[in-house]
Amino acid sequence: MGMLAGLASTTAIFLLEAVNLLLGPWVVSFPRLLSVTLQMPDNVALGWIAHAIAGTLVLGPLFALMYKSIPGQTPEAKGITFSVAAFVVLSLTVAPLAGVGMFFMRAGFVALAWMILTHALFGVVLGNVMARLMAREKRGPVVIGGAAVH
Inside any domain, residue 146: no
Q: Residue 148's pLDDT is what?
A: 63
Which residue range is the domain that position 32 belongs to?
Answer: 2-139
pLDDT for residue 67 is more than 70 = yes
Q: Residue 42's pLDDT is what?
A: 85
Inside any domain, residue 150: no
Whole-model pTM over 0.75: yes
User: Where is 35: in which H helix or E strand?
Assistant: helix 30-37
Q: Would you state the torsion angle of the CA atoms of residues 44, 48, 54, 56, taken in this order, to the nearest 10 degrees?
A: -170
| CA separation for the pair 51, 27 (Å, rounded) | 17
Q: Mean pLDDT across the stretch 9-37?
A: 82
Inside any domain, residue 145: no
Inside any domain, residue 19: yes
Confidence of residue 34 (pLDDT cuts 50, 70, 90): confident
Inside any domain, residue 53: yes
Confidence of residue 147 (pLDDT cuts 50, 70, 90): low
Inside any domain, residue 45: yes
Q: How many domains does the chain have?
A: 1
Q: Residue 146's pLDDT is what?
A: 66
